[in-house]
Amino acid sequence: MFDPLRHLLSLHDFEAAAKKRLPKPIYAYVSGAVEDGQSERGNRQAFAEYGFRPKVLVDVSRRSTRATVLGRDYAAPVGVAPMGISALSSYRGDIVLARAAAEANVPCIMSGSSLIRLETVMQEAPGTWFQAYLPGDDAQIAALIDRVAAAGVTTLVLTVDTPVAANRENNVRAGFSTPLRPSAGLAWQGITHPRWLFGTFLRTLWRHGMPHFENNYATRGAPILSANVLRDFSDRGHLNWQHVAAIRRRWKGQMVIKGILHPDDARTARAQGMDGVIVSNHGGRQLDGSVSPLQALPAVVDAAGGMDVMLDSGVRRGTDVLKALALGARCVFVGRPFNYAATVAGQRGVAHAISLIVEEVRRNMGLLGVVDLNGVNGDCVQRVGDRREDGVEV
């Protein structure tokens, strides 16, 4: 029997396989960035700016990838980033991602722009973090936070880099919108991608009904497919740190701010009682030309004052993970490749993708000459072209 995972040897390999299965508008949504794609390209290029300085003849036979994040022990410092409408690119995508992460014992963040109720995901994979996009109204914010708490979520992630809608021209060109509008072109995309049509969309309709945006508010949102319903986007332009302070008083669990690039914001987050921050530019999907998270990381770590600092955007290899950890990250999160993996082979695909990057981390630790993640520090890397040796100009 043909195994679609047999020839998928790295996270990069999943994209081409998923592109064949997904209708053009949905692939464009997952893969795309904004405007000229400067930030998305910069996220990858930033990792090439650092080179490793391995140490040799170190006994690395008993190396371990175990990591502690927000006080919890995980099998590896790699997690699943929040990804909106993942249940449209793979059948029961949010559950698939969360289950695979739970079985691998790595962190997973469920997106607030999701099509499966967070209560259902929490039942299937307790311990999953929840990422919220704050509504624009104080009463709606309070109701959403109370609902998240009642669902059993213990780690709340607030994404704060979306005060206004991004200019995602690629979505418009590909015919993607939320909700999707029925059209001859969209129907043709379904017909010409039968594995997605029957294995994801029609299967979902048959078993669960029309998907809706379930978790942007305390109440159900718009359907994913509609000719005349508009999605209820909140105006977030007025949101500020006072709203975060109010949530911190209301929320009794751990709380993380996602979307930090400036050290001043890390200092404010610490002052507001946050447990951690995620350095992120939203995978290059918001402000084009923003600094890459890896470039921003050292200054944010310096300002964090003991908070756990995490990172996402552009991570594709175990070497990327180790470079981020060397610069002070506690762990990293990966987005698009795990979405593609779910498209290709469901939960088994995500499990395979997680195992690939975790094994890369483990292998590269051996080549770097470190036994555990405590040994991954600034001494392990240097800027490419930096003409310094042991802190002395040469």
pLDDT of 385 > 70? The answer is no
Residue 197 sits in a domain whose CATH number is: 3.20.20.70
- Smallest CA-to-CA distance from 297 within 286, 308, 287, 289 is with 308
| Mean of pLDDT values over 199-227 | 94
pLDDT of 194 > 80? The answer is yes
CB atoms within 10 A of CB 182: 11
Question: Would you name the residues annotated as active-site residues?
Answer: 282
For residue 390, being part of any structural domain is answered with no
Residues making up the annotated binding site are 29, 82-84, 111, 131, 133, 159, 168, 258, 280, 282, 285, 312-316, 335-336
Q: Which pLDDT score, from 0 to 100, does residue 391 have?
A: 45
- 234 pLDDT band (50/70/90 cuts)? low
Residue 296's Cα: distance from chain center in Å? 17
User: Do 223 and 179 meet the contact criterion of CB atoms below 8 Å apart?
Assistant: yes
Question: What is the spatial distance between Cα 243 and Cα 389, in angstroms, rounded to a whole number?
Answer: 46
| Mean of pLDDT values over 236-253 | 93
| Mean of pLDDT values over 278-299 | 97
For residue 389, being part of any structural domain is answered with no
Question: What is the spatial distance between Cα 171 and Cα 169, in angstroms, rounded to a whole number?
Answer: 5
For residue 4, being part of any structural domain is answered with no
Q: Which pLDDT score, from 0 to 100, does residue 359 have?
A: 98
Residues making up the annotated binding site for glyoxylate are 29, 133, 168, 282, 285
Rg of the chain over Cα atoms, rounded to whole angstroms, equals: 21
For residue 391, being part of any structural domain is answered with no
User: Do 191 and 197 meet the contact criterion of CB atoms below 8 Å apart?
Assistant: yes
For residue 1, being part of any structural domain is answered with no
pLDDT tens across 118-148, in order? 999 999 999 999 999 988 889 999 999 999 9
pLDDT tens across 65-119, in order? 999 999 999 999 999 999 999 999 999 999 999 999 999 999 999 999 999 999 9
Residues making up the annotated binding site for FMN are 82-84, 111, 131, 159, 258, 280, 312-316, 335-336
Structure tokens, 175: 């015919």
Q: Give the structural domain span for 362.
A: 11-383
State how many domains the chain has: 1
Q: Which pLDDT score, from 0 to 100, does residue 11 have?
A: 98
Degrees, nearest 5: CA angle 22-27-28 = 150
For residue 392, being part of any structural domain is answered with no
pLDDT tens across 106-125, in order? 999 999 999 999 999 999 99
Reduce the secondary structure of 175-192 to three states and give it as a string. Answer: CCCCCECCCHHHHHHHHC
pLDDT of 191 > 80? The answer is yes
Q: Which residues contact 207 (CB under 8 A, 6 or more apart)?
A: none
pLDDT tens across 315-345, in order? 999 999 999 999 999 999 999 999 999 999 9
For residue 146, being part of any structural domain is answered with yes
- Smallest CA-to-CA distance from 325 within 118, 50, 27 is with 50
Query: pTM for the complete prediction?
Result: 0.95
For residue 206, being part of any structural domain is answered with yes
* Cis peptide preceding 23, ω within 30 of 0: no
- Smallest CA-to-CA distance from 259 within 306, 293, 210, 302 is with 293
Q: How does the average pLDDT of the chain come out, rounded?
A: 94
